[in-house]
């Protein structure tokens, strides 16, 4: 009997995660080997709660609009599955059995691949015929086993544009007003996002002048010296700092204290902390900005490379599942930088789950407060090209799905 598929999204969203959903849905529709396509609403929660939407009920035009619709069209979650709570797994597989599911596609980052791996292992334990394929997604670019992750390129483009324009702003006002501008980016354990802001310098170096990342312990004295020297040299200083910045004892420079189900602390506030240090030590006027959700859901700045690769990892997940592959995540392998060329492969879910890919030393300058030309060479192809959403009445027209249960 022909089997059905279920897809779900998990973790923090991106501007291109729905492009991966589009890739999955369109490939399932066209392959002729999969029956119905369901989507779990709000991630694994929708599967546990038997809350699925039937993609046959959606208008084709709205499905096409998923390619340029940011955030999660189906709802996401941060739910952690525990092997000690077997009742959760029983509910999941009751739903799989009820809807004749033979293919499970889970779209997310490190923690999401942990969920996918646990479902894969449980299917083997009970002898349930199921193909589990993970689909990479994260703006943080810290997903293990892939050269980069869909979502990173568009967020990098957003942040590089934001710091470029903000640097020009502070430069304009620096004669007798603001001397320092700080942009606080996401990035819990790895500084890929903060580093990407350095792409603002590819055409002209207006900033950022300093990039602070979790991979390098924050040194207050060296930092203040560099800020002071930069202001004396250029008249202003533009800074990017990752929210997960640590001190020399491995403690977060700033956080709010609350934690999620995976034990991750809610981060934020490091920009203000750095600002206070500069004001205290150098008596300079400082402005701080926190783009927060804006940097991950900026669909108006999604880049061509990112959208296309997001679609392809979705369609390749279906392709590999139909080949009988099971227990893997789709990975992107870079073949060359110039011309930029990648291929698609598989990596074991067990290798990806809960691992973190940090910035390698060759991408970090000797003083630990900037990135090298090797990083620029790596990141530049990922932000190239534009993939604008359709504009209606002056604003983007994003997908409007029925989500019929």
Please report, for the domain that includes residue 108, its CATH number: 3.40.50.450
Residue 363 domain-assigned?
no
User: In terms of domains, do 265 and 184 share one?
Assistant: yes
H/E stretch holding 348 reads strand 341-348
Are residues 14 and 80 located together in one domain of the fold? yes
d(CA 129, CA 366): 52
Domain identity same for 286 and 159: yes
Chain-centre distance for alpha carbon 175: 38
Q: Are residue 69 and residue 117 in the same domain, yes or no?
A: yes
Q: 165 CB contacts (<8 Å, ≥6 apart)?
A: none
Angstrom distance (rounded) from CA 125 to CA 362? 43
Instruction: Judge whether 166 lies within some domain.
Output: yes
Catalytic, 129? Answer no
Question: Given 244, 271, 295, which residue is the final one in a domain?
Answer: 295
**CA 342 vs CA 213, 299, 302, 332: distances in Å:** 27, 23, 19, 7
Same domain, yes or no, for 56 and 94?
yes
Q: How many residues does the chain have?
A: 405
Domain assignment present for residue 367? The answer is no
In terms of residue numbers, what domain contains 42? 4-138+299-355+385-396
299 vs 378: CA distance, rounded Å: 23
Q: How far is it, in rounded angstroms, from Cα 405 to Cα 40?
A: 10
Q: Is 44 helix (H, G, I), strand (E, B) or coil?
A: helix
What is the CA angle 138-145-315, rounded to 5? 65
CB neighbour list of residue 283: distance below 8 Å, 6 or more residues apart: none
| 400/319 Cα distance (integer angstroms) | 27
> 125 and 43, same structural domain?
yes
Is 373 within a domain? no
pLDDT at 299: 92
What's the CA gap between 69 and 56, in Å, rounded? 19
Classify 171 as helix, strand or coil: helix
Looking at the DSSP bridge assignments, the partners of residue 107 are 9, 135
Q: Which of 295, 327, 343 is the last residue of a domain?
A: 295
- CATH code for the domain of 222: 3.40.50.460
Q: Which of 140, 142, 306, 370 is flagged as catalytic?
A: 140
Distance CA 92, CA 349 (A): 19
- Where are the strands (E) in 198-296, listed by range? 210-212, 237-242, 255-259, 265-267, 286-289
Distances 259 to 185, 193, 232, 255 between C-alpha atoms, Å: 19, 22, 41, 10
Query: Same structural domain for residues 248 and 343?
Result: no
The answer to the question of residue 260 being in a domain is yes
Sequence-ordered alpha helix ranges (H) in 247-348? 270-282, 304-322
Question: Hey, what's the torsion of the CAs at 13, 28, 87, 128, to 10 degrees?
Answer: -140
Last residue of a domain, one of 295, 320, 343: 295
147: in domain: no
Please indicate, yes or no, whether residues 276 and 324 belong to a single structural domain of this protein: no
CA-CA-CA-CA torsion sign (100, 103, 107, 108): positive
Residues 187, 312 within the same domain = no
What is the model's pLDDT at position 84?
85
**Are 252 and 158 within one domain?**
yes
Structural domains of the chain, count: 2
Residue 146 lies in a domain: no
pLDDT at 1: 81
pTM above threshold 0.85: yes
- Distance in angstroms (rounded) separating the CA atoms of residues 101 and 319: 16
Sheet (strand 180-185) strand order: 210-212, 237-242, 180-185, 286-289
Would you state the structure tokens that stand for residue 11, as one six-digit string? 């973790």
Same-domain pairing of 200 and 103:
no
Q: What pLDDT was estimated at residue 250?
A: 87
pLDDT along the chain (405 residues), means of 10: 96 97 98 97 98 98 98 96 92 98 97 96 98 97 97 98 98 97 95 98 96 97 98 98 93 70 67 96 97 94 97 98 98 97 98 93 98 98 96 97 95
Token reading at 313:
């990892």
* Residue-level pLDDT at 264: 58
249, burial (CB in 10 Å: exposed 0-12, middle 13-18, buried 19+)? exposed
User: In this structure, are 91 and 18 located in the same domain?
Assistant: yes
- What are the structure tokens assigned to 39, written together? 């989507």
Q: Residue 328: its pLDDT value, please? A: 98
Q: Is residue 360 part of a domain?
A: no
Number of H helices, E strands in the chain: 12, 15
């Amino acid at each position: 009997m022909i089997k059905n598929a279920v897809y779900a999204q998990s973790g923090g969203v991106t501007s291109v995660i729905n492009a991966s959903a589009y890739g999955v849905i369109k490939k399932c529709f066209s392959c002729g080997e999969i029956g119905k396509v369901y989507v779990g609403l709000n991630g694994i929660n929708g599967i546990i709660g038997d809350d699925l939407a039937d993609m046959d009920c959606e208008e084709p035009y709205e499905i096409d609009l998923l390619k340029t619709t940011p955030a999660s069209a189906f709802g996401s979650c941060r739910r952690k599955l525990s092997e000690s709570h077997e009742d959760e797994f029983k509910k999941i597989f009751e739903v799989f059995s009820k809807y004749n599911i033979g293919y499970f596609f889970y779209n997310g980052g490190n923690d999401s691949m942990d969920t996918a791996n646990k479902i894969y292992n449980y299917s083997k334990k009970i002898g349930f015929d199921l193909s589990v394929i993970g689909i990479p997604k994260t703006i943080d670019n810290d997903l293990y086993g892939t050269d980069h992750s869909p979502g990173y390129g568009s967020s990098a483009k957003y942040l590089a544009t934001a710091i470029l324009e903000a640097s020009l702003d502070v430069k304009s006002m620096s004669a007798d007003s603001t001397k320092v501008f700080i942009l606080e980016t996401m990035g819990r354990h790895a500084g890929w996002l903060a580093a990407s802001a350095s792409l603002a310098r590819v055409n002209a170096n207006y900033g950022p002048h300093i990039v602070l990342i979790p991979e390098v312990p924050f040194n207050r004295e060296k930092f203040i010296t560099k800020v002071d020297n930069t202001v004396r040299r250029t008249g202003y200083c533009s800074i990017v700092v990752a929210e997960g910045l640590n001190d020399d004892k491995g403690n977060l420079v700033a956080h709010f204290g609350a934690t999620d189900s995976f034990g991750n602390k809610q981060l934020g506030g490091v920009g203000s902390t750095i600002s206070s240090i500069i004001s205290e030590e150098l008596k300079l006027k400082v402005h701080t900005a926190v783009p927060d959700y804006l940097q991950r859901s900026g669909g108006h700045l999604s880049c061509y490379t990112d959208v296309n690769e997001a679609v392809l990892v979705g369609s390749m997940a279906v392709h590999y599942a139909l080949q009988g592959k099971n227990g893997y995540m789709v990975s992107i392998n870079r073949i060359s930088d110039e011309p930029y060329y990648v291929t698609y492969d598989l990596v074991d879910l067990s290798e990806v789950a809960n691992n973190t890919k940090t910035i390698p030393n060759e991408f970090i300058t000797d003083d630990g407060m900037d990135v090298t030309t090797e990083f620029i060479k790596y990141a530049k192809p990922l932000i190239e090209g534009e993939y604008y959403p359709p504009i209606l009445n002056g604003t983007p027209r994003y997908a409007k799905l029925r989500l019929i249960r």
